[in-house]
A and B are shown apart, each in its own frame.
Chain A
Amino acid sequence: MNNLLEIKHLQKQFPQKNNKLFRKKEYFTALDDVNLEIKKGEILGLVGESGSGKSTLGRMIMGLTSSSSGSIKYNGEEISQLTDKEKIPYYLKMQMIFQDSTSSLNPRKTIGEQITAPMLRLGVVSSKQEAEKESIELLKKVGLKSEHIYRYPHEFSGGQRQRIGIARALALKPEFLVLDEPTSALDVSIQAQILNLLLDIQEEFNLTYLFIGHNLSVIKFFCHRVAVLYKGKIVEIAKSDELYSKPFHPISNMLLKSVLKLERQEESSNLEETLESTDMHTGCSFSGKCNYASAKCYESHPQTTIQYYSGIERSYACYHPLNQETKELEVVFP
């Protein structure tokens, strides 16, 4: 098995705030029965609308949010139930790049301090001098200059700050990076620079990435495989160009259609928007908006079906999948 990360039946429930005194606590399910594997050296994309739980999943992998049930295995070792202290060795292997580069850097500390402190803390280097030499190397690697170690975060532009975040994560020599929408706050031209940099680094250090995003065209360009998340459930996993050309799940199809192309497109049919409906049914959470929904969809949530296309697996959870002309082999996941 060359799976670096294995997530099985992962679930997360957040307690709902309610001010009533004598009332049972209610829970909001952010992630529901998530199964996902990330192979070594792979770039896996995680795409979904806001509120689909994609950031929660990234934070759970990093141990910033605890899980309600299920397991997360890193290199075969269970990491979802560790104490803060036990997590520390894993931070040398996995790191995270945050979406908001402004708030993820401490405004009162110099770049140098922020990069060297974790290295010294976790014993990546043995002396301050070495830490400094190393941090200058890192800054150069991400396209900044050595004198930048004396500067403070506010003296940099958004793109440069994101580079600093990357340098800081690389300082601990990780093998796995969670990229939580690293470019969604950046301009297009800067986004290209950062994406290219991340690809260069991935090749150089043979890293594994989990790329969380909402922009499918970025994901298609950047990732090998894509997992589509909708309201806490993974609805489809496929190679990114296959998902792009032949989406199986109606949700993937909807996300793809929403990508703005550079050619003029026909107007989409759905001009109206409704308030979130509060009535819950046990079925597929997309059924209310889905054009293909049948009675079955409202009753129960479809199980995950795995198909093999010339040896490459593709999974989806839908009763009425699209683009289904070439079935080779089908396994229903229990």
Chain B
Amino acid sequence: MEKFEPVLETKQVLQHPLVFDRKENKLKKLWNVFKKDKLAVMGLFIILVAAAVSLLAPIIAPYDPNISNGSKRLLGIGTAGHILGVDEQGRDILSRLIWGGRTSLLTAVVPITCMFSLSLILGLLAGYWGGKTGEVIMRLLDVLFSFPTVLLAIVVSAIMGAGVLTIMVSCCLTMLPYMTRVVYTSTVTEKTKEYIEAAKILGANKLQIAFKEILPNVVSDLIVYSTSLIGVAMVLGAGLSFLGLGVQPPTADWGKMTSDGMKVLTLGAPHVATIPGLIILIVATAFNWLGDGLRDLFDPHKRTQ
């Protein structure tokens, strides 16, 4: 009988494997994976559109968002000249939406982005170092936790005066403890795993372990959590503006438009509040989709499927 000869694998062996000098290629690869996640791509698209519209507000907004026209008030959707209608002060809702995106996106995205890296550093330090450093960091954050947001905002506005900056700073201070907690918790879990010990005996120092070994394993949790906080931050900003601590009238802001529209919700003009509310919902959802997509992007399990 003929003897079976095993065929050796003839997969091409790479001639010049250079893992590190392939940044460009890597980005392209990541995009190829990312674009398979339809929801994430849609989320990214919505966010980009919102950002572009906000940036181009002076050019594309049909009316001045702050000038009221006393003769036209509370017009409905589809009115000639005012596609989305007019609010109770006679201002064009579409123009206010376009301009409002600037404040809304700014007050929500900037604080979260800033706090992203700060919470990552604090959480890793507190979680991995533990001991006194960790205790001090976490207890200080607990103090922040215990302040009601409004009180915090009042203090901040007392120092800096009301305005967009006040909203951003208060938002930072409110979100930081939550985000740090997430990093801290995942770090404490990761820290007990054996690969940390392996890194130790492979000559890594504490900083290298925290930022090179643990960080890639906790960052995806934080991405998901912080993108879900963006919607919360928008609503928070609106609340502060409502109290007069943030955006001053007549400046447009999605959150503020929603809360102002509440007054006429039952007076036959529900669209004044629901349109900006819907926009917040859509943008917040888009950020969540993007967050989920990014998490999968950082997960080699999903990436190699």
Contact = CB atoms under 8 A, between A and B. Distances in A.
Direct contact of A and B (CB under 8 A): yes
Contacts of A107: 195, 217, 300-301
Interface stretch (A98-106, A220-228, A254-262, A275-283): A98-106
Contacts of B198: 96, 98, 104-105, 165, 168
Contact of B17 (A85, A132, A154): A132
B217 A108 contact: yes
B304 to A, nearest CB: 6
Contact of B203 (A104, A116, A122, A136): A122
B13 interface: yes
A108 B298 contact: yes
B19 A118 contact: no
A150 B19 contact: yes
B151 to A, nearest CB: 35
Nearest to A140: B13
Nearest to B197: A64
Nearest to B202: A118
Contacts of A64: 197, 200-201
A152 B304 contact: yes
Given A91-B201, A104-B194, 12 more contacts: A84-B206, A85-B205, A92-B203, A103-B195, A106-B216, A107-B217, A112-B19, A118-B203, A122-B202, A129-B18, A151-B304, A154-B301
Contact of A154 (B14, B19, B200, B300): B300
A5 interface: no
Contacts of B208: 121
Nearest to B200: A64
Interface stretch (A141-149, A299-307, A317-325): A141-149
A150 B194 CA distance: 22
A104 B195 CA distance: 4
Which interface residue of A84, A98, A106, A132 has the most chain B CB atoms within 10 A? A106
B300 A152 contact: yes
A91 B11 contact: no
A88 interface: yes
A105 B195 contact: yes
Interface in B206-235: 206, 208, 212-213, 216-217
B91 to A, nearest CB: 50
B242 to A, nearest CB: 43
B204 interface: yes
B4 interface: no
Interface in A129-164: 129, 132, 136, 145-147, 149-152, 154-155
Contacts of A146: 13-14, 17
Contact of B13 (A88, A106, A145, A172): A145
A71 interface: no
A108 B17 contact: no
Contacts of B201: 62-64, 91, 95-96
A296 interface: no
Across chains A and B, which 9 residue pairs bring their CB atoms closest together, nearest first? A152-B300, A118-B202, A108-B216, A104-B194, A103-B194, A122-B203, A106-B195, A112-B19, A104-B198
A118 B20 CA distance: 15
A110 interface: yes
Interface in B156-205: 193-195, 197-205
Contacts, number: 101
A109 interface: yes
Nearest to B213: A106
A327 to B, nearest CB: 43
A121 B202 contact: yes
B8 to A, nearest CB: 11
A115 to B, nearest CB: 10
A146 B11 CA distance: 10
Contacts of A104: 194-195, 197-198
B20 A128 contact: yes
Interface string B1-32: 00000000101011001111000000000000
A117 interface: yes
Contact of A155 (B9, B216, B304): B304
A175 to B, nearest CB: 15
Tell me which of B9, B194, B202, B299 has the highest count of chain A C-beta atoms within 10 A of its own C-beta.
B202
A234 to B, nearest CB: 24
Interface in B282-305: 298-301, 303-304
B217 A147 contact: no
B202 A168 contact: yes
Given A100-B194, A103-B194, A147-B13, A110 B19 contact: yes
A55 B47 CA distance: 53
B19 A98 contact: no
B301 to A, nearest CB: 6
A63 B205 CA distance: 14
A42 interface: no
Interface string A63-101: 110000000000000000000110010011001101010
